[in-house]
């Protein structure tokens, strides 16, 4: 049974700015620093620690912008994600369990399952693709579907869009 963690696999979350003052804000690349993914036959289970999210850097037009945020800014954003958005003390781990995992002729996989996030379980589906020796899946999650109110500041003039992108990749 292949097993993956943050030292061999990667889980990233991309957030996108919104609102009247969005020019003052940044799209973000966030790394999930602690997770366990187990793949056995046609079953996949991933459990992630929501307290382990750390801001990697800001993004600008899809490109990384490492100088846009100080370490202090990154730490403050990560703290807000935990306290104001994910609330791990109340909701615990983020868990995905597959209900269907099928290989395709192109080397990728079609995956369906249930994601438990913020105390809410919802069905999700994703397809993987082979990229540079890795299986890579991207899925868009609508935060309100999981009872999450997207982060907002300055009376809503600065906020995060409701839809975030999660990218998970494992070596083949």
99-137 pLDDT, tens digit per residue, is: 999 999 999 999 999 999 999 999 999 999 999 999 999
| pLDDT > 70 in the chain, percent | 94
| CATH superfamily of domain region 3-171 | Lipid/polyisoprenoid-binding, YceI-like (2.40.128.110)
Provide the mean pLDDT of the chain: 91
Sign of CA dihedral 142, 144, 148, 153: positive
- Within the chain, how many helices (H) and strands (E) appear? 2, 15
Q: What is the mean pLDDT of residues 28-47?
A: 94
* 107 closest CA partner among 126, 133, 130, 125: 130
Largest CA distance in the chain: 50
Provide, rounded to the nearest whole percent, the portion of the chain with pLDDT above 90. 77
pLDDT digits (tens, 9 = 90+) for 41-77: 889 999 999 999 999 999 988 899 999 999 999 999 9
Question: What pLDDT band is residue 152 in, cutting at 50, 70 and 90?
Answer: confident
DSSP 14-35: EE-EESTTGGGS-EEEEEE--E
Average pLDDT over residues 18-30: 77
pLDDT at site 91:
94
pLDDT given at position 154: 72
């Amino acid at each position: 049974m292949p097993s993956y963690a943050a030292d061999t696999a990667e889980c990233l979350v991309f957030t996108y700015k919104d609102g009247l003052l969005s020019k003052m804000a940044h799209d973000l690349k966030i790394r999930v620093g602690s997770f366990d993914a187990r793949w056995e036959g046609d079953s996949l289970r991933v459990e992630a620690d929501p307290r382990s999210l750390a801001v990697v850097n800001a993004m600008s037009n899809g490109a990384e912008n490492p100088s846009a945020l100080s370490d202090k800014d990154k730490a403050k954003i990560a703290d807000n994600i935990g306290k104001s958005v994910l609330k791990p003390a109340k909701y615990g781990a983020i868990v995905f369990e597959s209900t269907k995992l099928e290989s395709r002729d192109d080397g990728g996989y079609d995956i369906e399952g249930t994601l438990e996030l913020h105390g809410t379980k919802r069905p999700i589906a994703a397809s993987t693709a082979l990229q540079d020796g890795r299986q890579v899946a991207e899925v868009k999650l609508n935060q309100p579907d999981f009872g999450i109110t997207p982060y907002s500041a300055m009376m809503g003039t600065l906020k995060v869009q409701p839809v975030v992108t999660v990218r998970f990749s494992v070596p083949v």
